[in-house]
Amino acid sequence: MTQIEATHKPVIAIGTIGGTISMTAAKPGEGVKSTLGAEQLVNSIPGLDRLDVELRLHSIANMASGSIRFGDLFNLLDRANQQVEQGAGGVLIVQGTDTLEETAFFLDLYWTHQAPLVLTGAMRSPGQAGAEGSANILAAVQVAMSSAAQGYGALVLMNDEIHQACYVRKVHTTALNAFASPIVGPVGAVREGLARFFRLAPVRKVLVQPEQISQTTLLIETTLDENPILYSHLVQLGYAGLVIAGLGSGHVSIPVTEELSNVVKQIPVLMASRTGAGSTTKGVYAYPGSEIDLQQRGVIMVGSLCPRKTRLLLNAYLWQGLTRAELERNLVEHLALFDAI
């Protein structure tokens, strides 16, 4: 008798937590709300049944992405870890696009596996003409099941483009090509059903999940003729760290600079740029409120990381229970990884 060896399909776990991709309207002409779960989203996708893969479907939540809390993300991370430990070769998370870049970066900070963690969503709800959600899920599954995607950490798949979590940003409110990675471009793309990568997997620094997440931080975008009064109350309000989306390559006004001199003595202050692309500078400008002046006062220039992700990184290190000196040293080392390209 001929013995036939059992073949095992690769396993991809899919978790849905809501977003435009899952939204429908109760009546024609009404606004859409999250209603669809994992099975409803996945089972009707053309071509998905032809992939040599076993899908594990999990409807985790149905919320707008702006309502996601840090605790939700750690619960999501625990679920994703459990799926990999139970044999999944990749994990796909489907959520709303408004905070997709932040979720991806947050999860990437703690993702310890070689298996890819892919996030996707949609710019159009299923009932709209040209809705792209099905195509995004199909392509995201193709990335998650690809051996080429191993070692990249968390990836964002939108519009057949693959983006690294640290670089990707939502750059348009409604367009289908709403996601981009300024300066560096996408790390890969899906072509004819295959995930193709343009750069090698990056050097990543993975953090230990914290035992507590009580410290909070504030992100402020500085503006023309800004009233600096808020800065003098930050510590009283309970903030343990501050991120500023600064002018140009990391600058603020003289009145704000004077307030920061006091703030930085009490809590870490990080300076990013509000421009949307490019790095903060370190040694170009020397006027009051410039990067040279701010660094002399103790402010940390973050480089190319965007302000929103800088806030998440600062939170992550505050939760590690480090001394101020240890925190700032580790932050600077971590930030340098994002300027490696």
pLDDT in tens, 129-152: 888 999 999 999 999 999 999 999
Report the C-alpha gap between 127 and 69 in whole angstroms: 28
pLDDT of residue 6: 47
Let me know if residue 207 belongs to a domain: no
Token readout for 20 is: 């435009």
Distance in angstroms between the alpha carbons of the first and the last residue of the chain: 58
What average pLDDT does range 75-97 have in this prediction? Answer: 97
- 191 and 71 fall within a common domain: yes
Answer whether residue 228 is part of any domain: yes
In whole angstroms, give the CA distance from residue 66 to residue 64: 5
How many C-beta atoms surround the C-beta of residue 148 within 10 A? Answer: 15
Boundaries of domain holding 116: 11-197
Residues 77, 165: one domain?
yes
> pLDDT above 70 covers what percent of the chain?
96
pLDDT digits (tens, 9 = 90+) for 196-245: 999 999 999 999 999 999 999 999 999 999 999 999 999 999 999 999 99
Regarding whether 318 and 236 lie in a shared domain, the answer is yes
3, part of any domain:
no
What are the tokens at 129?
A: 């003409």
Same domain for 317 and 186:
no
Contact 218, 242 (CB under 8 A): yes
DSSP states along 249-277: TTB--HHHHHHHHHHTTTS-EEEEESSSS
Q: In b/e form, how buried is each residue of 65-96, taking b as 16+ CB within 10 angstroms?
A: beebeeeebbebbeebbebbeeebbbbbbbbb
Question: Can you give the pLDDT at residue 98?
Answer: 96
Confidence of residue 20 (pLDDT cuts 50, 70, 90): confident
- 3 DSSP 8-state letter: P
* pLDDT band of 22, cuts 50, 70, 90: confident
Per the structure, how many domains does the chain have?
2
66 contacts 23 by C-beta, under 8 angstroms: no
Mean pLDDT of the chain: 94
> CA 200, CA 206: separation in Å to the nearest integer?
18
**223 and 132 in a common domain:** no
Instruction: Give the model's pLDDT for residue 175.
Output: 96
Enter the pTM of the model.
0.94
